[in-house]
Chain A
Amino acid sequence: SAVISQKPSRDICQRGTSLTIQCQVDSQVTMMFWYRQQPGQSLTLIATANQGSEATYESGFVIDKFPISRPNLTFSTLTVSNMSPEDSSIYLCSVEDYGGQIYNEQFFGPGTRLTVL
């Protein structure tokens, strides 16, 4: 399975500022995903990021608020823009690992815990 790291692991930010979260994978993967986990809640998919194409956003998430980059097959960034306290969450990236299996599964990074004051 892929080894996934995220930076920063946590941050405390002021409202109105932006934070860019990095996700690095130790092997090339086709699909990368960004999720949000609000306090005490489950995970919600923000967007799917494929290398060489625009990210695909889920309902309720827009590119202006959560711009995503996917410059190569091992790296992606998510920016949380113009932050408000409601953006306080854990942000997780995940990757899809075909692993030679007939089905797909996703592996998750450790997450970035964001607190907006």
Chain B
Amino acid sequence: GNSVTQMEGPVTLSEEAFLTINCTYTATGYPSLFWYVQYPGEGLQLLLKATKADDKGSNKGFEATYRKETTSFHLEKGSVQVSDSAVYFCALLRFKAAGNKLTFGGGTRVLVKP
């Protein structure tokens, strides 16, 4: 079956540090890949996405590249801010006739200190 594995947190960083959150997946075919972010006390927001191999998704300074050869979709940001403190979820979407299904990784909590 489909699965997503991401690095466990919490990840604690200082402001302006470089952030990487590793994400690897197992799936048949060609899933779409997503990063969602959940800020404290809020619901999930779509951060970025990629739909095919070598696509790079980017938003708010975050980037992730769909690497089919390594089945990975690592999230990176060059200089984090305190406001980036949140839980980040990697997810894949498989198309199904009965309804497309999102499979989530376990989430990585990121804490950015001033």
Residue of B nearest to A90 (CB): B43
Among A41, A106, A107, contact of B106 (Cβ-Cβ < 8 Å): A41
Total residues of chain B contacting the partner, CB 8 A:
22
Contact with B along A88-117 (1 / 0, CB 8 A): 000010101000001111111111000000
With a cutoff of 8 Å between Cβ atoms, the chain A residues found around residue B25 in the complex are none
A75 within 8 A of B: no
A48 within 8 A of B: yes
A42-B105, A42-B107, A43-B44 given; A105·B98 CB < 8 A: no
B73 within 8 A of A: no
Q: Tell me if B51 and A106 are in contact (CB < 8 A).
A: no
A56 within 8 A of B: yes
Among B44, B101, B106, contact of A108 (Cβ-Cβ < 8 Å): B44
Count A/B pairs, Cβ under 8 Å.
59
Residue of A nearest to B31 (CB): A103
Residue of B nearest to A102 (CB): B51
Q: Tell me if A105 and B49 are in contact (CB < 8 A).
A: yes
Instruction: Give complex CA distance A45, B93 in Å.
Output: 12
Q: Tell me if B43 and A45 are in contact (CB < 8 A).
A: no
Among B32, B34, B106, contact of A42 (Cβ-Cβ < 8 Å): B106
With a cutoff of 8 Å between Cβ atoms, the chain A residues found around residue B36 in the complex are 108
Chief secondary structure at chain A's binding surface: strand
Contact with A along B33-53 (1 / 0, CB 8 A): 010100000111110010100
A31 within 8 A of B: yes
Contact with B along A6-39 (1 / 0, CB 8 A): 0000000000000000000000000101000000
Which of A's residues lie within 8 Å of B, judged by CB? 1, 31, 33, 41-45, 48, 50, 56, 92, 94, 96, 102-111
Knowing that A103-B51, A108-B36, A109-B43 are A-B contacts, what are 13 other residue pairs whose CB atoms are under 8 Å apart, sorted by A's residue number?
A: A31-B99, A41-B106, A43-B104, A45-B102, A48-B101, A104-B32, A104-B100, A105-B49, A106-B102, A107-B46, A110-B43, A111-B42, A111-B43
Give 4 closest A-B pairs by Cβ, nearest first.
A48-B99, A110-B43, A108-B44, A111-B43
